[in-house]
Amino acid sequence: MSKKILQYLVIFLGILIILAFITLIYGMFLKIATKSKKISFDQKNLSLNLADEEKIVDIMVIDDNKLLIKVSKSSIIEGLIYNIEENKISNIITE
Across the 95 residues of the chain, what is the mean pLDDT of every consecutive 10-residue run? 92 97 94 74 73 88 90 87 86 82
Q: Work out how many domains the chain is built from and give that number.
A: 2
Residues 58, 36 share a domain = no
Residues 58, 34 share a domain = no
In a domain, 49, yes or no: no
Residues 36, 7 share a domain = yes
pLDDT at 15: 97
CA distances from 42 to 39, 45, 52 (A): 10, 10, 28
The helix or strand, by DSSP H or E, that contains position 62, with its residue range, turns out to be strand 54-63
The helix or strand, by DSSP H or E, that contains position 63, with its residue range, turns out to be strand 54-63
Domain containing residue 5: 1-40
In a domain, 77, yes or no: yes
Contact assessment for residue 51 and residue 78, using Cβ atoms and an 8 Å cutoff: no
pLDDT at 49: 80
In a domain, 47, yes or no: no
Residues 34, 1 share a domain = yes
